[in-house]
Amino acid sequence: MIEQPASLTDHFLIAMPALDDPFFARTVTYLCQHGPEGALGIIVNRPSELMLSEIMEQMEIDILEREKLAAIPIYFGGPVQPERGFVLHEPLGSWDSTLEVSERLSLTTSRDILEAIGRGEGPHNILVALGYAGWGSGQLEREIAENSWLNAPAETSIIFQHPSSQRWKAAAELMGVDISLLTGQAGHG
């Protein structure tokens, strides 16, 4: 039996192939908070059709480099509060409403970070998402015990450098697992 860390904050949750929930099938979720009261994460491999420049225009935020922001997709961060925006970023910076997840990654929900991004002064690496994934007390631990998820310490290069279509496989490879070889079937001998 593999011992789970007390907290999976700053870890990836990698959906097992058998997980067929439409919100979470083949996803990689970055856990921003995990404790006795539950967990909060952002799905990092589900880009939407919406682009950052469109969201910023809707919010009436000035944009200095429109072409650059028009190439940055908004991600589906999860099914909870899908109207709420989240910016996962490095380096940390100082923003009005920020959760420091680790010494290298933060999650910010305040408008000031988007204004800085619009001016070209924001963090170097960003992933902007609408909504988040949430679990109540003990729910995530049960799902892990039911083999719905693999978990691995997070690697920022997977979030910021890998194409979104390759993040699921790359995250599983952190654990030495070729997820494409796993099936949704339980083996019985």
Phi-psi region of 67 (alpha: psi -120 to 50; beta: other; left: phi over 0): alpha
Overall size of the chain counted in residues: 189
Residue 184, Cβ density class (10 Å: 0-12 exposed, 13-18 middle, ≥19 buried): exposed
Summarize pLDDT for 48-104 with one digit per residue, the tens. 999 999 999 999 999 988 888 888 999 999 999 999 999 999 987 889 999 999 999
CATH architecture, domain defined by 11-177 = 3-Layer(aba) Sandwich (3.40)
Compute the distance between CA of residue 150 and CA of residue 136 in angstroms, rounded to an integer: 18
Residue 1 has pLDDT above 60, yes or no: no
Domains of the chain: which residue ranges?
11-177
Q: Supply the mean pLDDT for the chain.
A: 90
Share of the chain above pLDDT 90, in %: 74
Mean of the pLDDT values across residues 18-36? 93
Mind giving me the DSSP string for 74-106?
A: EEE--SEEEEEEEEEEES----SSEEE-SSS-E
State the pairing for strand pair 73-76/125-136: parallel
What is the mean predicted confidence (pLDDT) over 176-181?
81
Output the pLDDT for position 163: 96
DSSP, collapsed to helix, strand or coil, labels residue 32 as: strand
Q: Where residue 185 falls among pLDDT bands split at 50, 70, 90?
A: very low
pLDDT confidence of residue 5: 56
Over residues 141-171, the pLDDT tens digits come to 999 999 899 999 999 999 999 999 999 999 9
pLDDT classification of 180: cutoffs 50, 70, 90: confident
Q: Judge whether 59 and 114 are in contact, CB under 8 Å.
A: yes
Asked if residue 4 has pLDDT above 60, the reply is no
Distance CA 179, CA 189 (A): 22
What pLDDT does residue 181 have?
Answer: 77
